């Protein structure tokens, strides 16, 4: 049943992006039908209103550090989800142009029946499927962990159950948000549970489909750069092949335009991702810090620590996924011209060699992905953010231990999370 289900996700029109486009379509980001678009856009607006209610609740509970940190760790992720959904819908035309380029280029390349080309495309397509499905599983596990965490806390703590029964403690919540009714008991509580459950599935679907689609397209660029390098290395065969001037120029032109369009559409992808990733790097860093502080607080129970640890792992995996694949594209972009100089260029005349020099100059134009105007998406950025997170988490934990629970209003001034991260990034 598993392989058949996975096969049903494939799309002959989009050989690489079939599963990710299906996910985008189910969650209302890849819009085709006008009537469904209206329904999906209403859902996106309701999600935006829910995020506002989370920050309103954060303001109301600002004096309670433990509740505020728990709210902050989730509300910022909700902000990123809504921002991703909004930008994808608003920039739908650019996304469609980019996706059509990816699909059409692969179909044209495979139509030539070249074994080397087919092998490279098949390799990065299989890799993309593994990354997509593993990431979907991780997001699904995170969503169910967030939804079921209050139930596990309720079942694992007899003292907490006794406090609920005598009315001294409210029922456990999935998320922290404001409602215009009493959500601590009765019908109001169950309405909040249903609302929080739905918003968790919405956010998980948006994150899974958006991130997997972006990462798969990054993988496409890395694979195409590898294919371009291979094509450059076999421009003139092994040197014994007789290639006339017209055929040689045609091959050089194909490599030139291949790289030219890769640079063009990678710039389009970067323009779509850069604002999202700038917000994502900042907010993800803040979320990881908030989760790490919760993890090291004495008042946090064992079941809560398990939930926070799984949530923290998912946040780090998301950031790593973008930085790793952005680094892969940059690395392949730097070494793509090596294929040209490993070709049998020495077997050609002076006119062809001059054209090769021009092509080499074109291939030196590198492809990079950025998170806003301040940093690039690569492994170095991930390591830098990780070091900052460790330093801030250590400082936050030490501050909590020194000041104690009665002086929590001074912690925000001692930690200075936003200032540290914005200055460092």
Question: CA 392 → CA 12, 237, 414, distances in Å?
Answer: 48, 56, 10
Contact criterion met (CB below 8 Å) for 296 and 393: yes
- Worst-scoring range by mean pLDDT, 76-90, 255-269, 280-294? 280-294
Supply 286's token pair.
């803040």
DSSP 13: T
Pairwise CA distance, residues 394 & 386, whole Å: 12
- Burial of residue 2 (CB within 10 Å: 0-12, 13-18, 19+) is exposed
Pairwise CA distance, residues 231 & 33, whole Å: 40
Pairwise CA distance, residues 61 & 344, whole Å: 70
Q: Give the three-class secondary structure for 375.
A: strand
What number of other Cβ atoms are within 10 A of residue 147's Cβ?
A: 17
Given this model, what pLDDT does residue 399 score?
Answer: 57
Question: In sequence order, which residues have a C-beta less than 8 Å from that of residue 347 and are 6 or more positions away?
Answer: 236, 239, 240
pLDDT higher than threshold 80 for residue 365: yes
**Phi/psi at 14 (5° precision):** -135, 85
Which tops the pLDDT comparison, 20 or 290?
20
Given this model, what pLDDT does residue 282 score?
Answer: 80
CA 100 to chain centre: 21
- Grade residue 297 by pLDDT with cuts at 50, 70 and 90: low
Given this model, what pLDDT does residue 16 score?
Answer: 92
Residue ranges covered by each domain of the chain: 2-424
Of 145, 25, 44, which Cα lies nearest the Cα of 96? 25
pLDDT higher than threshold 90 for residue 95: yes
pLDDT in tens, 195-218: 999 999 999 999 999 999 999 999
Q: Give the three-class secondary structure for 104.
A: helix
Pairwise CA distance, residues 387 & 32, whole Å: 43
Pairwise CA distance, residues 79 & 279, whole Å: 9
Question: CA 196 → CA 47, 57, 65, 137, 177, distances in Å?
Answer: 11, 14, 22, 20, 9
Given this model, what pLDDT does residue 423 score?
Answer: 45
pLDDT higher than threshold 60 for residue 418: no
Greatest mean pLDDT among 108-117, 169-178, 209-218, 345-354 lies in 209-218
pLDDT higher than threshold 80 for residue 388: no
Pairwise CA distance, residues 174 & 183, whole Å: 12
Which tops the pLDDT comparison, 254 or 164?
254
Mean pLDDT of 255-277: 93
Given this model, what pLDDT does residue 291 score?
Answer: 67
Mean of pLDDT over the chain: 82
Given this model, what pLDDT does residue 24 score?
Answer: 93
Contact criterion met (CB below 8 Å) for 49 and 15: no
- Worst-scoring range by mean pLDDT, 217-221, 288-292, 344-348, 358-362? 288-292
DSSP 407: G
Question: In sequence order, which residues have a C-beta less than 8 Å from that of residue 387 and are 6 or more positions away?
Answer: none
Given this model, what pLDDT does residue 91 score?
Answer: 93
Q: Report percent pLDDT > 90 for the chain.
A: 36
Mean pLDDT of 268-296: 79
pLDDT higher than threshold 70 for residue 68: yes
Given this model, what pLDDT does residue 340 score?
Answer: 85
- Grade residue 352 by pLDDT with cuts at 50, 70 and 90: confident
Pairwise CA distance, residues 306 & 294, whole Å: 11
pLDDT higher than threshold 80 for residue 284: no
What number of other Cβ atoms are within 10 A of residue 128's Cβ?
A: 23
- Worst-scoring range by mean pLDDT, 163-167, 321-325, 332-336? 163-167
Of 192, 201, 199, which Cα lies nearest the Cα of 173? 192
- Grade residue 359 by pLDDT with cuts at 50, 70 and 90: confident
Given this model, what pLDDT does residue 89 score?
Answer: 93
Pairwise CA distance, residues 6 & 133, whole Å: 9
Given this model, what pLDDT does residue 99 score?
Answer: 95
* Burial profile 207-225: b = 16 or more Cβ within 10 angstroms, e = fewer: bbbbbbbbbbbbbbbbbbb
Contact criterion met (CB below 8 Å) for 19 and 57: no
Pairwise CA distance, residues 355 & 424, whole Å: 44
Of 26, 9, 75, which Cα lies nearest the Cα of 47? 75
């Amino acid at each position: 049943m598993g392989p058949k289900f996975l096969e049903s996700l494939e799309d002959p029109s989009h050989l690489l992006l079939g599963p990710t486009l299906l996910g985008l379509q189910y969650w209302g980001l890849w819009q085709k039908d006008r009537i469904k678009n209206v329904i999906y856009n209403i859902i996106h607006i309701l999600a935006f209103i829910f995020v506002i209610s989370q920050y309103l609740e954060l303001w109301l509970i600002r004096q309670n550090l433990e509740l505020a940190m728990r709210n902050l760790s989730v509300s910022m992720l909700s902000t990123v989800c809504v921002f991703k959904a909004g930008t994808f819908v608003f920039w739908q035309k650019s996304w469609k142009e980019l996706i059509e380029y990816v699909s059409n280029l692969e179909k044209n390349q495979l139509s030539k029946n070249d074994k080397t080309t087919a092998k490279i495309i098949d390799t990065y397509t299989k890799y993309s499927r593994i990354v997509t499905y593993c990431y979907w599983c991780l997001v699904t596990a995170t969503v169910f962990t967030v939804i079921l965490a209050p139930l596990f806390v309720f079942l694992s703590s007899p003292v907490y159950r006794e406090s609920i029964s005598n009315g001294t403690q409210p029922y456990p919540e999935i998320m922290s948000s404001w409602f215009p009714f009493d959500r601590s008991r009765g019908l109001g509580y169950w309405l909040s549970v249903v609302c929080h459950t739905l918003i968790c599935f919405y956010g998980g679907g948006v994150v899974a489909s958006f991130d997997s689609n972006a990462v798969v397209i990054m993988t496409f660029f890395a694979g195409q750069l590898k294919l371009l390098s291979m094509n450059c290395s076999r421009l003139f065969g092994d040197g014994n092949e007789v290639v006339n001037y017209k055929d040689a120029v045609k091959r050089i032109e194909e490599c030139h335009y291949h790289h030219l369009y890769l640079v063009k559409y990678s710039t389009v992808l970067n323009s779509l991702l850069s604002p999202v990733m700038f917000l994502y790097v900042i907010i993800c860093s803040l979320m990881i810090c908030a989760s790490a502080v919760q993890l090291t607080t004495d008042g946090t129970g064992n079941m809560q620590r398990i939930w926070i640890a799984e949530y923290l792992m998912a946040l780090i995996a998301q950031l790593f996924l973008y930085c790793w694949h952005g680094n892969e594209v940059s690395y392949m972009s730097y070494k793509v011209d090596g294929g040209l100089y490993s070709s049998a260029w020495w077997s050609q005349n002076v006119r062809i060699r001059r054209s090769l020099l021009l092509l080499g100059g074109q291939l030196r134009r590198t492809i990079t992905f950025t998170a806003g105007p301040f940093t690039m998406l690569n492994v170095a950025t991930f390591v830098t953010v990780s070091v900052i997170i460790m330093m801030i988490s250590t400082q936050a934990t030490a501050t909590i231990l020194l000041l104690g629970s009665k002086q929590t209003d001074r912690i925000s001034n001692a930690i200075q999370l936003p200032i540290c991260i914005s200055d460092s990034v």
